[in-house]
Amino acid sequence: MELIGKELACTRGQREVFSGLDFRVAAGEALLLVGHNGAGKSTLLRLIAGLLRASAGTVSLDGGDPELSVPEQAHYLGHQDALKPSLTVTENLRFWASWLGDEAPALDAALEAVALAEIADLPAAYLSAGQRRRLSIARLVAIRRPVWLLDEPTSALDVASQGRLAELMAAHLASGGLILAATHGPLGLESARELRLGGRT
């Protein structure tokens, strides 16, 4: 399986964010998007997730399910956590699991993986920023999708949680998944390649 972007260009508000961008990420590989603020890291992730339209170029997933589009095979972890404060931790996770996937999700195991099992019945309104982040990471674990698009995944996470996230990412790569992550700091992944955006300033 290989995610391929060809000749990608994106224009936002009459400003060209990037153009002529090529990348390839094979199964088991992680690609880190680095660059200064405004270089287009988040834009590229949203573009692959189908939330922005490219002004030129294509994104395709070789060896993926031909019935499904790339966004339908991808998890997107954005800046916002997509949680409803009045629903409990489990209810939030169960909804996204049934919306994003077809198979029966392993909710308990996913909450265990992000160390939230003890507060599974607490409304999300009472969670701290780091706990909210971990709950949205649990979504990626509960439902299997081969492509992970992570935008600053470690923001608000403490050191222990960053370590757990690194283990989850390593397990995802080992099981044949692939990761694109926009980041400013190290994610704790060995053998991750870097793609520098915004060479021109």
Partner 1 sequence: MSALSALLVRDVRIALRVGGGAMMGVLFFLTVVTLMPFALGPDLALLRRLGPAILWIGALLASLLALDRLFSADHDDGSLDLLLMGRVPIELAVAVKGLAHWLTTGLPLVVAAPILGLFLNLEPKAIAAVVLTLLVGTPALTFIGLVGAGLTVALRRGGLLLPVLVLPLTVPVLIFGVAASNAAVVGPVPFGTPFTILCALTLMSLVIGPFAAGATLRHGLE
Residue placing its CB nearer to partner 1 in the complex, 65 or 167: 65
Site string for partner 1, 58-97 (x = CB under 8 A): ----------x--xx-x-x-xxxxxxxxxx---x--xxx-
Distance, CA of 170 to CA of 168 (rounded, Å): 5
Q: What is the spatial distance between Cα 173 and Cα 109, in angstroms, rounded to a whole number?
A: 18
Find the binding residues for partner 1 in span 8-47 (CB under 8 A): 12, 46
Helix (H, G, I), strand (E, B) or coil at 184: coil
Beta strands at 2-12 and 56-62: parallel, antiparallel or unpaired: antiparallel
Kindly state the smallest distance separating residue 17's Cβ from partner 1, in Å.
12
Nearer to partner 1, 71 or 130 (CB): 71
Rounded alpha-carbon distances, angstroms, from residue 163 to 114, 168, 196? 10, 9, 24
Size of the residue set binding partner 1 (CB under 8 A): 30
Judge whether 197 and 45 are in contact, CB under 8 Å: no
Among 49, 59, 180, 181, binds partner 1 (CB under 8 A): 49
The verdict on 52 binding partner 1 (CB under 8 A) reads yes
| Gap between the Cα atoms of 75 and 142, Å rounded | 11
Residues at the contact surface with partner 1, assessed by CB under 8 A:
12, 46, 49-53, 68, 71-72, 74, 76, 78-87, 91, 94-96, 98-100, 102
